[in-house]
Amino acid sequence: MPRFPIKMPQLGESIAEATIREILISPGDEVRADQNIFEVETDKAMMEVTTPCSGTIVEVTAIVGTSYPVGSQIAFIEATEEEATKAGLIKPGSASADLPAAGQSANEGNLHFAIAEKDIIDHSKPPPVKPTIEGGLPVPVRSSVYLSPRLRARMDELGLNSADLAGLPGSGAGGRVTVEDFEKFINALEENRMTDASPMRIAVADSMRRSWTRPLASVTVPIIMDAVLAHRKSLTAKPGVTLYAMRALAIAISENTAVAGRLIGTRIVHPNAIDIGFAVEADDGVLVPVIRNVDQKTLSEMQQPYEELVNRARERRIPISATGAGIATITNVGPFGITAASPIPLPEQNLVLGLMAGRKAPVWDEEKSEFVPRMESKFVLSFDHRILDGGAAGRLLQRIGQLLQEPEKL
């Protein structure tokens, strides 16, 4: 009887590979159609792989603990031509002479989905993003990038990391980047004009790369700023809009500290103090000095320390007392005319609040029953989606907006 490969099936629309957790059959076992023969784990759940038809298991090539992409052979079954045709393993009208004989290897039988041992993917080192097509359905492979020990050593030698290869297509099995791909990439770079990145730019790049290891999301709410601007105009010493937002954010967080917590394992770690940083543009980068215990300070108490820290940051001389992680950051991009953005929280933080440029907008006035012009600014909150969902993030923004309507209480 001819033998046929049992392949890793498409276990879901977005699933491109699965890890073998248990092998339920052995060579020589008689099996029926749709019998469970492997238990596998995907990104979503534990699932089973079944036989395509009745027959005899002649070889098991899968290894427990190893991950196989969709379409990879994981076992072989001997079956009659009738059973194979019924299961779709043989197209009607195919000559039996074209089928691989019993004992013949996958390569010898010219099986379409046969793979070499080098193509097996270790489950701890998933392949890069590359469409895998099985039965006409394209699915993305997980976004993690597999790098061989040899390639990692070469990258370490040059001081590079996996993010530096984000745009490099691989020619290896499963779309993996090989050492040869890497060397061609490096040699091609020499043909381009290059300048050294500053230490600050490198630090920012590393911080953002680590931030993106988490699932980040953003929500936006338009905030009416007329009350803040009127209050600011009435003061002799005029605090910046960033200070108003910082104080409102601190009060809102103090009402539910979990929103600024960090997920460690299965627990949310609440902050011990509400220390908030603010972004200051410096030469070729951004510095984030921190004001401590913002929820316990009034707006007037914060103004002088804030202005001093802005000046010190521009000189790149932030005092040690104002360095270190806060629980959130505020970035005001309004002065640059930016009306929409998605700021990225620092790796050690869950929240970053972005203030966009103010614009006059028509807002419905219930008392006047007409639209009236109001100064409106969009506030964007970016957050770790493991901690917050869109609703909770939206409520936090709405609370900030409420607090800003009574600036005299800040």
The DSSP annotation for 114-130 comes to: ---GGG-EETTS---S-
Q: Does residue 82 have a pLDDT over 60?
A: yes
Mean pLDDT taken over the chain: 82
Q: Which amino acid is at 220?
A: T
What is the radius of gyration, based on Cα positions, of the chain? 30
Distances (CA, A) of 115 to 70, 87, 110, 120, 289: 11, 22, 11, 8, 54
CATH code for the domain of 44 = 2.40.50.100
Are 291 and 351 found together in one domain? Answer: yes
Within this chain, do residues 326 and 238 fall inside the same structural domain, yes or no? yes
**Count of domains forming the chain:** 3
Q: Does one domain contain both 218 and 302?
A: yes
Q: Which two tokens stand for residue 32?
A: 């029926």
288 and 221 housed in the same domain: yes
pLDDT number for residue 100: 54
The pLDDT assigned to 38 comes to 94
Question: What is the rounded CA–CA span in Å between residue 224 and residue 360?
Answer: 10
Q: Residue 190's domain is classified under what CATH number?
A: 4.10.320
Q: What is the pLDDT, as a whole number, of residue 14?
A: 52
Instruction: Annotate 287-307 with b (16+ C-beta within 10 A) or e (fewer).
Output: bbbbbeebbebebeebbeebe
Burial (Cβ within 10 Å: 0-12, 13-18, ≥19) of residue 75: buried
Same domain, 157 and 267: no
> For position 111, what pLDDT does the model report?
37
Q: Tell me: do 95 and 226 sit in the same domain.
A: no
pTM of the complete model? 0.59
Q: Are residues 55 and 83 in the same domain?
A: yes
Same-domain check for residues 153 and 241: no
Q: Which CATH number is 357's domain given?
A: 3.30.559.10
Residues 246, 130 share a domain: no
Q: Are residues 190 and 60 in the same domain?
A: no
Which structural domain, as residue segments, surrounds residue 259?
200-409
pLDDT number for residue 142: 37
Encode pLDDT of 189-238 as tens digits: 888 888 887 777 777 888 888 888 888 999 999 999 999 999 999 998 89
Let me know: does 12 contact 33? Beta carbons within 8 Å. no
Q: Is the pLDDT assigned to residue 329 strictly greater than 50?
A: yes
Q: Are residues 383 and 404 in the same domain?
A: yes
Q: Which long-range contacts (CB under 8 A, 24 or more apart) does 389-394 make?
A: 390/217, 390/219, 392/259, 393/217, 393/219, 393/259, 394/219, 394/221
Rounded to whole angstroms, the Cα distance separating 189 from 212 reads: 25
The answer on 161 and 119 residing in a single domain is no
Name 305's Cβ contacts closer than 8 Å, sequence gap at least 6: 291
